[in-house]
């Protein structure tokens, strides 16, 4: 299990005093989080009452998760330091990897992560949020009412759209995961995570690819008896395939193969995005 439900401390690499930067947005959104939030940036002392530190190694504790909001070329050294400090979960919001053709850059991330047994959400993702602990590690919209829907979206833009629709209908959600390029953590991992979440009774998914087909189908079968799973797919048309390839670096697939997989796994298909 990924154990995202027990987050009590967070470090944000690239935290900033500049309100236009993601590192500032992340701090502003988490002023009500009951755990510890640490900003990593040698330029600043504190923002929103959160103390800043020059690097990961100077933190007073090993945080449960680290969020990267820095340019891609600076991530490798920071990820190495993160691993040496004993941190096992990271969210890489930063883009500029497989989705724009930099496949080797993404492979380097995976190599470093494997060396230290780090699990990566992303890169090129919106982030993660849990309404039950007022944790919003994303640069998307603000939280709405708490609810029972767990959201998994490969697309950050789609995650924002889904939460906007929920808000317009006075519905809340329990948690959301934006998968991005899925360099490591994928939809099968999150299905298992949400299967044990008592605050999630319905799972809604938007996918542009399936990383591990057999594992995904088996997890769908296991979970379908516990919680309804609703799936929407993108990239099934020719234009959609081009769009998803440039969006999250996803490989195109055959819609008949997708529909067969969903049927085999007992997922509920509600529609197709182009």
Tell me what pLDDT residue 181 has.
Answer: 95
Alpha carbon distance 60, 177 (integer Å): 28
Q: At what angle do helices 255-265 and 213-224 cross, to 10 degrees?
A: 40
**166 is written with which tokens?**
């929920």
Cα 107 to Cα 103: distance, rounded to the nearest angstrom: 6
Query: Which of 32, 36, 31 shows the shortest CA–CA distance to 10?
Result: 36
Torsion of CA 126, 30, 24, 143, to 10 degrees: 50
- pTM assigned to the model: 0.88
pLDDT for the residue 246: 47
What pLDDT is attached to residue 171?
84
Residue 95's contacts (CB-CB under 8 Å, 6 or more residues apart) are 72, 123, 124
> Which residues in the chain land under pLDDT 70?
141-144, 224, 235-274
| Helix residue ranges, H only, 196-254 | 213-224, 238-248
Closest CA to 91 of 10, 18, 36, 191: 10
What contacts 59, CB < 8 A, 6 or more positions away? 11, 38, 40, 53, 85
Tally of helices (H runs) and strands (E runs) in the chain: 8, 14
The DSSP annotation for 49-65 comes to: TEEEESSGGG-SS--SE
For 101, the token pair is 């053709």
The upper half-sphere exposure of residue 140, i.e. CA atoms within 13 Å in the direction of its Cβ, equals 27
């Amino acid at each position: 299990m990924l154990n995202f439900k027990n987050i009590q401390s967070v470090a944000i690499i690239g935290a900033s005093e500049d309100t236009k930067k993601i590192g500032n947005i992340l701090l502003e959104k988490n002023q009500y989080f009951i755990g510890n939030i640490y900003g990593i940036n040698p330029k600043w002392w504190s923002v929103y009452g959160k103390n800043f530190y020059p690097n990961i190694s100077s933190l007073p504790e090993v945080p449960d998760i680290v969020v990267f909001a820095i340019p891609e070329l600076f991530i490798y050294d920071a990820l190495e330091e993160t691993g040496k400090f004993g941190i096992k979960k990271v969210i890489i919001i930063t883009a500029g990897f497989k989705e724009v053709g930099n496949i080797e850059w993404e492979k380097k991330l995976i190599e470093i992560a494997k060396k230290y047994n780090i699990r990566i959400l992303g890169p090129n993702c919106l982030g993660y949020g849990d309404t039950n602990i007022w944790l919003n590690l994303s640069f998307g919209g603000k939280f709405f009412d708490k609810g029972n829907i767990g959201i998994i979206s490969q697309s950050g833009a789609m995650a924002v759209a889904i939460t906007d629709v929920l808000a317009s209908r006075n519905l809340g959600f329990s948690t959301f995961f934006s998968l991005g390029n899925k360099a490591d953590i994928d939809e099968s991992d999150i299905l298992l995570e949400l299967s044990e979440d008592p605050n999630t009774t319905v799972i809604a998914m938007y996918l542009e690819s399936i990383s591990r087909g057999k594992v995904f189908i088996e997890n769908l079968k296991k979970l379908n008896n516990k919680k309804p799973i609703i799936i929407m797919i993108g990239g099934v048309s020719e234009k959609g395939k081009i769009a998803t390839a440039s969006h999250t670096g996803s490989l195109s697939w055959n819609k008949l193969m997708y529909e067969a997989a969903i049927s085999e796994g007992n997922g509920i298909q509600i529609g197709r995005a182009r």
